[in-house]
C-alpha cells in the first residue's frame, strides 16, 4: 500500500511517499480502507523527535492520528463492526499511521462515522474532539453556568472546545486574531480577546476552567485568571507526574517530568488551583458520544483546507505555519 513514511526523526526532511506492507489484522482489529486523514501538530512533533523520550517509535514509521474510511475486513473477535461500515478513529499511540491507504485499528478505538457530515469533515474530528472532551468533560467536569477560557479559539482544538463548552452551558472566553473574531463568535464564544491588541489577564477574572494550549508566559497568566478552586488543563505542557505514571515512564523520564512541572504545580497549589497536563488518548466510547453530538447538530466540524494525498507534506507544512482555521485534511480516496 502507498504511505507517507519517515525513516528517522527530522524537523527538516519531508516524509517520503513509498510502499509499506498492508497492516496485519489482529483478532480485535478492523481493517479500514482510508478515505481521508486529519493532520495535527502532534504529527510534526513526533516527526521532529520532540516526543521520542515518552513515545519511542520504531522506524520506518507512518504518521497520522485521524482516520475515516470503510471497514474492509474484521478480526475473529470483532463484534461492533462489519465489512462495509463507515467509521472514524483516533488510533492508539504506537499503532498510528493514517497517512496510508489502509490501517488496522482495535475496534474499541473506533466509532461509527457521523451520518450528517462528509468523509473529509469526519477525518477532522477524532483527535481534537477527544482532546476537548477529555479536557472539559472528563478532567474539568465543566458544568452549566461556569466560566471557561479556551485559548486559540480558531485552532483545531479551540473550534471544537468552544462548541462543546457552549453545549454544556458554560460562558466561553477565547483568544484569536481580529480576522477570526466572527468565526469564534459564530461557534459560541461570548468574550473574544484579540491577542495582538489585548492582554487576556487584564480582561478575564474568576474563571472556573482554563484550557491552555500556548507558551509558558500564557501559562503563568492563566493561573491568575482562575478563581480559587479552579482548574487549569494544559495540552502544551509541561507534563506532570500523573502523566508520567499513566504512560508507565521510567524513573529517569518521571524525574525529568517532575522537574519540568515543579514550578507551575507549586504556583497552582499556592493559589488553591488544580494543574493537569493532558495528552489525549484514543477512546471509541467517547468518540461515539461525539458522534451523537454531531448528528444532533450541537457541534459541526470547522475545516480550513483539504489537500490531495500526494500533497501530505505540503499539508503538514501548512499546519506547522499556525495559519489554519480549524482543521486540515488529506483526501486519500
Indicate where the chain has its CATH 3.40.50.720 domain(s): 127-277
- For residues 274 and 15, give the distance between their C-alpha atoms in angstroms, rounded to a whole number: 39
pLDDT at 58: 94
Q: Which three cell numbers stand for residue 23?
A: 497492516
The pLDDT tens digits for 63-113 are 999 999 999 999 999 999 999 999 999 999 999 999 999 999 999 999 999
pLDDT of 199 above 90: yes
First to last CA, the chain: 13
CA-based nearest residue to 44, from 67, 63, 18: 63
Residue 201's φ and ψ, nearest 5 degrees, are -65, -30
- For residues 271 and 101, give the distance between their C-alpha atoms in angstroms, rounded to a whole number: 50
Indicate where the chain has its CATH 3.90.180.10 domain(s): 2-125+301-331
pLDDT of 323 above 90: no
Q: Cβ(324)–Cβ(318) under 8 Å?
A: yes
- For residues 6 and 333, give the distance between their C-alpha atoms in angstroms, rounded to a whole number: 22
The pLDDT tens digits for 239-297 are 999 999 998 999 999 999 999 999 999 999 999 999 999 999 999 999 999 999 999 99
High-pLDDT (> 70) share of the chain, %: 100
The pLDDT tens digits for 207-246 are 999 999 999 999 999 999 999 999 999 999 999 999 999 9
Q: Which of 143-147, 201-205, 262-266, 321-325 shows the lowest mean pLDDT across its residues? A: 321-325
The model's confidence at residue 54, banded by pLDDT at 50, 70 and 90, is: confident
Side-chain half-sphere exposure of 6, counting CA atoms within 13 A: 26
pLDDT of 62 above 90: yes
Residue 178's φ and ψ, nearest 5 degrees, are -60, -30
3-class SS string, 207-276? EEEEEECCCHHHHHHHHHHEEEEEEEEECCCCCCHHHHHHCCCCHHHHHHHHHHHHHHHHHHHHCCCEEE
High-pLDDT (> 90) share of the chain, %: 96
Q: Which CATH class is domain 2-125+301-331?
A: alpha beta
pLDDT at 163: 98
Q: Is 149 helix (H, G, I), strand (E, B) or coil?
A: strand
pLDDT of 53 above 90: no
Q: Is CATH 3.40.50.720 the classification given to domain 127-277?
A: yes
The model's confidence at residue 202, banded by pLDDT at 50, 70 and 90, is: very high
Amino acid at each position: 500500500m502507498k504511505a507517507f513514511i519517515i525513516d528517522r526523526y527530522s524537523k527538516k526532511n519531508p516524509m517520503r511517499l513509498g510502499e509499506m506492507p498492508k497492516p496485519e489484522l489482529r483478532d480485535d482489529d478492523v481493517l479500514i480502507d482510508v478515505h481521508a486523514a486529519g493532520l495535527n501538530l502532534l504529527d510534526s512533533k513526533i516527526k521532529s523527535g520532540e516526543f521520542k523520550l515518552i513515545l519511542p517509535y520504531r522506524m520506518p514509521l507512518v504518521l497520522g492520528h485521524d482516520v475515516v474510511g470503510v471497514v474492509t475486513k474484521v478480526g475473529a473477535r470483532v463484534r461492533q463492526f462489519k465489512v462495509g461500515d463507515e467509521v472514524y478513529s483516533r488510533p492508539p499511540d504506537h499503532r498510528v499511521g493514517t497517512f496510508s491507504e489502509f490501517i488496522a485499528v482495535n475496534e474499541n478505538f473506533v466509532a461509527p462515522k457521523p451520518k450528517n457530515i462528509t468523509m473529509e469533515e469526519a477525518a477532522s474530528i477524532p483527535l481534537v474532539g477527544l482532546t476537548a472532551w477529555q479536557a472539559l468533560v472528563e478532567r474539568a467536569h465543566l458544568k452549566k453556568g461556569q466560566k471557561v477560557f479556551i485559548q486559540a479559539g480558531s485552532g483545531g482544538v479551540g473550534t471544537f472546545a468552544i462548541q462543546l463548552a457552549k453545549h454544556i452551558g458554560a460562558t466561553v472566553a477565547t483568544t484569536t486574531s481580529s480576522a477570526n473574531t466572527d468565526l469564534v463568535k459564530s461557534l459560541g464564544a461570548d468574550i473574544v480577546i484579540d491577542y495582538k491588541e489585548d492582554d487576556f489577564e487584564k480582561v478575564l477574572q474568576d474563571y472556573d476552567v482554563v484550557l491552555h494550549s500556548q507558551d509558558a508566559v500564557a501559562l503563568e497568566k492563566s493561573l491568575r485568571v482562575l478563581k480559587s478552586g479552579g482548574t487549569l488543563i494544559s495540552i502544551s505542557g509541561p507534563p506532570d507526574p500523573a502523566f508520567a505514571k499513566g504512560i508507565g515512564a521510567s524513573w529517569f523520564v518521571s524525574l525529568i517530568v517532575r522537574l519540568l512541572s515543579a514550578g507551575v504545580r507549586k504556583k497552582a497549589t499556592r493559589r488553591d488551583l488544580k494543574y493537569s497536563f493532558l495528552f489525549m488518548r484514543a477512546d471509541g466510547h467517547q468518540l461515539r458520544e461525539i458522534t451523537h453530538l454531531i448528528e444532533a447538530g450541537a457541534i459541526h466540524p470547522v475545516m480550513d483546507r483539504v489537500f490531495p494525498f500526494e500533497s501530505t507534506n505540503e499539508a503538514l507544512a501548512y499546519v506547522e505555519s499556525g495559519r489554519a482555521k480549524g482543521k486540515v485534511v488529506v483526501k486519500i480516496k
